[in-house]
Chain A
């Protein structure tokens, strides 16, 4: 029996790319198997699968704690059971594009902290770099092992209505979400038994092995001690930190577990002090070393930067990478690719207006209903103004802030994020999605796990996919 009612209210959004249907409602190849599976599955059964997925997340402890009235409430990150499916040809382009981009960004970081040719050649204005809070003078002339700065990245991509993938953000600091990529896949295996092999879905499960291998080779030591530094149990990504440490078989450490002696980092063990060679840190630059950065930080380790400077420890990602994913610097990434690699960018940038430029500011003010304004140093979807849904007063107030320091803001046209089918209230409905593939850069090159994290704006019509603002996630299948 077929349950066509499931599909009956699937209304394509205007001017928007849909991952499942073409604009004339033809099913895209990659969705054939799952779609026929859905047609033969009752909504009861799908709802049961949805409940099962929630139960699985809870039982595994894939949760974050929300503190409310001093009662800790365990929450799960919303998960939509239907996978987002990408064809292998599309994936190959994404993969090549990300590799190209990260290579250029890494060269940029090396350049900017050494000779600064790109500034001397006036490709990027010096004041942009020097005014950025993420530019760390402490990193000047410091060379990380193998010249690698951005070991781990999670580039955010969106598919525009032309069907092309655009880069939204590069996320070169401490991108999170990779544990959800792994966990979502495990859930898919449970709720769609047999379907994954039938679809030839590329596996993501060896991510921890690749990560560990790459982290190991980041050190000059023959048998390095690799650890993961977490801000601790109250961090919303704590689940991810424990999972990655567990799956790699390395120690999960907190700042207070580490100590620096004679410019060498040690961890405090029951045997005494044990040397640490590589630190995959999930603590922001600012909190890393109270002696050099934020003096009030208790999350970091005093003296860690001096050990780093002496080459006695590798910090992953290197401090100071934030300069390359600043939203104003983002505008110049295509130029970087041309400058350092002499190649045309494979993945497109989103057209970006710098409000520091009077011409751009005027254009944005005149076209505000089609624009989104962001802070150059913002993340997590905070401090944004969405021109199409803001009131006149909101806009006025926002521009008052902008006018104080226009250079700290950029604007982009409001994008048409592509939609993918979600199972909501017993129906399939299109919801906006983005894609965050995870890349790992080691001395032997860059590897990208096929797929990544698809984030989804579960509210109807919403374009904000951030988990802090009502977004959820989906499993991502790259099929061959």
Chain B
């Protein structure tokens, strides 16, 4: 496969995964914000996803959702993410199933419809967000059913899981900043619950730990749950196995990738809650993010170097 195409496929899915995470976050925060606008404000979300110099600010839910979906100056607005994802898919059309391209293209056209922003103001926002989430799910469904398990598939998944690790880490960092602002244990537990909801781990948590939100348990679900597709453990594991598939089939040069992945895997596998508390959750997350950045850089160096 052309190196450029590999890069296209990885980024197609990175942008898609980011869009998916952001939509979930918006949906969860919209509900929470109805309960308690002070606790679940929109500002941290806007700050996390825009450039440092963005002056946009709002605490109006619809305005924020509109900004996060339609604003063209916001690099992470859904419309920008889907446009970029589509451009990557478009340059790799001969490598992906037709259904996959048609799916992304229809998502793109749906977002580009000039009547859509009005619908956001007229409709129930949850229904609106669910419609977009369905396009995201269609994308993953298409890959699952139609994409042959070869290099293209692995590259897509590398993109997806890299981005998912980043998003889960980001969500947690955002929450930690909010939690630090309050000493009220009830408010803190609201935030933990909210984090579980945003990641999509709430139900699993209830099944396992019942309705009592303790930091240690939440961390162990989000970071260490072996069989849950939204946990860091699971994502890093998948990332590693897909990269290994690529190394096995000679699509990827080992370089320092194996070492970096092994290091990250064991960090997540063998760090206990006590260890995390010792070094501080924030530091722990930061070290994971740094590892992910190194892995991403390493893949870039192997493949996508424009220097050759």
Contacts and interface: CB of A to CB of B under 8 A. Distances in A.
Interface stretch (A141-149, A268-276, A316-324, A377-385): A268-276
Interface in A31-52: none
B3 A270 contact: yes
A155 B5 CA distance: 34
B180 interface: no
Nearest to B104: A61
A312 B93 CA distance: 28
A256 B4 contact: yes
A253 B4 CA distance: 9
Interface string A232-268: 0100001000110110011111101101000000011
A58 B113 CA distance: 12
Interface in B237-284: 246, 250-252
Interface in B1-26: 1-6
A249 B94 contact: yes
B206 interface: no
Contacts of A242: 90-91, 93-94
Contacts of B91: 233, 242, 252
B87 interface: yes
Nearest to A61: B105
A238 B91 CA distance: 9
A194 interface: no
Nearest to B92: A252
B94 A245 contact: yes
B54 interface: no
A74 interface: yes
Given A61-B101, A259-B308, A269 B1 contact: yes
B83 A253 contact: no
Interface string B282-308: 000000000000000000000100101
A285 to B, nearest CB: 24
Which of A61, A242, A257 has most chain B Cβ within 10 Å?
A: A61
A59 interface: yes
Interface residues of A, number: 28
Interface string B90-108: 1101100000011001100
Max chain B C-beta neighbours (<10 A), residue from A58, A249, A270: A270
Contacts of A60: 102, 105
Interface in A64-95: 70-72, 74
A447 to B, nearest CB: 23
A59 B2 contact: no
A324 to B, nearest CB: 31
Given A233-B87, A252-B94, A269 B112 contact: no
Nearest to B93: A242
Contacts of B64: none
A461 to B, nearest CB: 32
A43 B299 CA distance: 58
A59 B3 contact: no
A270 B83 CA distance: 25
A271 B251 contact: yes
Contacts of B94: 242, 245-246, 249-252
Contacts of A251: 2, 5, 94
Contacts of B306: 256
A257 B4 contact: yes
B109 interface: yes
A270 B302 CA distance: 9
Nearest to A268: B3
A277 B109 CA distance: 38
A270 B109 contact: no
B72 interface: yes
Contacts of B83: 72
Contacts of A254: 4
Contact of A270 (B102, B112, B251): B251
19 contacts: A60-B102, A61-B101, A61-B102, A61-B105, A70-B72, A74-B109, A233-B90, A233-B91, A242-B91, A242-B93, A245-B93, A252-B91, A253-B2, A256-B306, A257-B4, A267-B2, A268-B3, A270-B6, A271-B1
Given A251-B5, A257-B2, 19 more contacts: A59-B106, A60-B102, A60-B105, A61-B105, A72-B83, A74-B109, A233-B87, A238-B90, A242-B90, A242-B91, A242-B94, A245-B94, A246-B93, A251-B94, A252-B93, A253-B2, A267-B2, A268-B308, A270-B6
A-B pairs, top 5 by smallest CB distance, nearest first, are A246-B94, A270-B251, A61-B105, A242-B93, A245-B94
Interface of A: 58-61, 70-72, 74, 233, 238, 242-243, 245-246, 249-254, 256-257, 259, 267-271
